[in-house]
Copies of this chain bind each other. A is one copy, B any other.
Amino acid sequence: MSNADTPVQAVILVSCPDQPGIVAKLAGALHEVGGNILDASQHTDVSSRTFLQRIHVSWPHDSPEPEAVQEAIDETAAEFEMTWRIRWQQSPRRVAIFVSRQDHCLHDLLLLQRDGALQCRIPLIISNHKDLEEVADRFGVPFHHVPVQGSVDEDAEAGQISLLSAHDIDLVVLARYMRVLSPKFISQYESRIINIHHSFLPAFAGGRPYHQAHVKGVKLVGATAHYATAELDAGPIIEQGVIRVSHRDSVTDMERKGSDIERTVLARAVRWHLEDRIVVHDGRAIVFD
């Protein structure tokens, strides 16, 4: 489960009712199976008295037996009523990107993945339009055109889900995909669909946020990356950014300024997800940096 050169690494995310001793017990358990803690971040949610921790472990000496690691954590988990998951870093996630006609976010994701700044594979791009097929071609990523009729199109969603299944997709990124996904679709990828909304949510949820911002005369426009949930634009917020605008900016100017923020914010959210830095607890995204 390793090659000779680099030690095996994994990220473990745990959650349990808060009580004394968790950190020491878990650290001890990992130590006993040969793990060395490279980084550990914890957070206690005060209102629900919940302990959450992200542990980045390496095995500097011998490659671990995954079963032994699992058993060691399970033992501690039982003691503290802990839910937990582990991701071995040798197996990068598989990401599908959904787009419509705008390509600024798509370009960024493809360039970052190419440069190694996003540790993942991108087996396919899905779009309700054909416009961006050319971009996909340039980067050698298979492009699937799935036309969408009406506000929710069950056939289209069936086609999309069948593509996601066929390619064993772990994460869906909505990179300015301008259609709404059904709650049924979303429930199959809970906390695994990241959307970029082009406003500082919860302000200007829904359609045409830059128009809304222009009418309102705000002095900053923003972008919000969040996990999609059944309620539109209301899922756990992962990252946000803003940029200054003024009365001189038309809606088009706002769109241009905002697009710089959109792609940066989305790229950051995707990277954090791929690095297992995000835990959703009680409707909020905790991002361990």
Quote the shortest CB–CB distance from A226 to chain B (angstroms). 9
A236 within 8 A of B: yes
A23-B27, A41-B41, A286-B247 known; A220 vs B242 contact (CB < 8 Å): yes
User: Interface residues of A toward B: which range?
Assistant: 35 or more
Interface residue? A159 (CB, 8 A):
no
Is A83 close to B, CB under 8 A? no
> A226-244 toward B: CB 8 Å interface, digit per residue (1/0)?
0000000000111111100
| Nearest B-chain residue to A256, judged by Cβ | B117
- In the complex, which residue of chain B has the Cβ closest to the Cβ of A236? B217
CB distance from A193 to the nearest CB of B (A): 17
Contacts of A42 in B (CB 8 A): 37, 39-40
A208 at the interface (CB under 8 A from B): no
Taking CB atoms, residues of chain B closer than 8 Å to A39 are 42
Q: Which of A90-119 contact B (CB under 8 A)?
A: 103-104, 107, 111, 117
Report chain B residues within 8 Å CB of A46: 250
Q: Is A36 among interface residues, defined by CB-CB distance under 8 A?
A: yes
CA distance A23 to B39 in the complex (A): 9
- Chain B hits for A184, CB < 8 A: none
**Contact B37 A44, beta carbon cutoff 8 Å:** no
Complex CA gap A283/B250 in Å reads 16
Q: Does A157 contact B (CB under 8 A)?
A: no
Pick the most buried of A219, A260, A264: most chain B CB atoms within 10 A of its CB. Answer: A219
List the B side residues contacting A285 at CB < 8 Å: 217, 247
Copies in the complex: 4
Does the CB pair B203–A287 fall under 8 Å? no
Within 8 A of B (CB), among A110-159: 111, 117, 138
Asked if A200 and B220 make an inter-chain contact with CB atoms under 8 angstroms apart, the answer reads yes
Closest to A139 in B: B138
- Counting CB contacts under 8 A, is A284 at the interface? yes
Q: Is the CB of A21 within 8 A of B40?
A: no
Q: Which residues of B contact A30 (CB under 8 A)?
A: 24
Question: Interface 1/0s, chain A 7-30, versus B by CB < 8 A?
Answer: 000000000000011011101101
8 Å CB contact of A240 from B219, B237, B248:
B219
A79 touches B (CB below 8 Å)? no
Additional A-B contacts beyond A23-B37, A219-B237 (7; CB < 8 A): A24-B30, A27-B27, A46-B250, A200-B220, A201-B218, A203-B203, A248-B289
Q: Which 5 A-B pairs rank lowest in CB-CB distance, beginning with the nearest?
A: A217-B284, A24-B31, A20-B36, A203-B203, A24-B27
25 contacts between A and B (CB under 8 A): A20-B61, A21-B31, A21-B36, A24-B28, A24-B30, A24-B31, A25-B31, A27-B27, A27-B28, A28-B28, A39-B42, A40-B40, A46-B250, A103-B111, A107-B111, A201-B203, A202-B204, A202-B218, A216-B284, A217-B283, A219-B237, A246-B287, A246-B289, A247-B285, A247-B287
